[in-house]
Amino acid sequence: AQYFASRGYAVIQPNFRGTTGLGLKHQLASYKQWGLAMQDDLTDTVAWAVKQGIVDPKRVCIYGASYGGYAAMQALVRTPEVFQCAANYAGITDLQLFHSVTWSDISDSDFLRHLLPVMVGDPDRDKVLLRATSPAQNADKIKAPVFLAHGAEDRRVPIIHGERMRDALEKLGKPVEWMVKTEEGHGFTKLDNRVEFYTRLEAFMRRALIRP
């Protein structure tokens, strides 16, 4: 937040439903609302910022990591008219991969078997929901440019998520910038990689938002 604020951007980090530390009611309100009501919380934040005169509604970008990366992609699917660009850093792109990927650090766990079906969706009973709320399966709805960054050794959100999103966008001829780093996991830890990532991310956002 400080990085972008120091460069003149207005930065908002909303506590969308499901944000931890805000009580049980706030947490339960997120169950099976990935890409739905949780997404609306972000869009409502943009509407508030526009009404306050903080932001130009024609120059809004969304960026996030992990779940935030998912939300950034789903924002372009659900409300393509609101955002002029999106950046996904180590983010989920296909909710069905939660259950089918066997090399993540949550595969074959009690969390995957018992809690994830309640929180996000059951792989059998909620197939339609999971497809409808998976950005990689709805890339045709995306209009704005996308920046994707992923660590090749990510075991929390395996790189197949980023690759599937990239491939879906490229197949449709949509603008996408891809950054991958070997020997990096769920977020870049090496200083050189972090510097390169934020430098490229800011350049991407400027191209999308700051026009002559």
Q: Which of 66, 107, 122, 126 is catalytic?
A: 66
Burial call 95-111: b when 16+ CB within 10 Å, e when fewer: bbbbbebeebebeeeee
Q: Between the CA of residue 71 and those of 38, 103, 192, 212, what are the distances in Å?
A: 8, 23, 27, 29
User: Could you confirm whether 114 is annotated as catalytic?
Assistant: no
User: Could you confirm whether 66 is annotated as catalytic?
Assistant: yes
Q: Which of 99, 150, 161, 186 is catalytic?
A: 186
For the chain, the helix, strand and coil percentages under 3-state DSSP, each to the nearest 5:
45, 10, 45
Closest residue by Cα to residue 12 from 69, 60, 58 = 60
Q: Which of 104, 134, 154, 161 is catalytic?
A: 154
Contact partners, residue 72, CB within 8 Å, separation at least 6? 62, 63, 64, 86, 87, 88, 91
User: Could you confirm whether 134 is annotated as catalytic?
Assistant: no
Distance, in Å, from the CA atom of 175 to the CA atom of 195, rounded to the nearest integer, reads: 23
Closest residue by Cα to residue 123 from 158, 102, 103, 95 = 95
| Angle 161-100-127 from CA coordinates, rounded to 5° | 95
Residues taking part in catalysis? 66, 154, 186
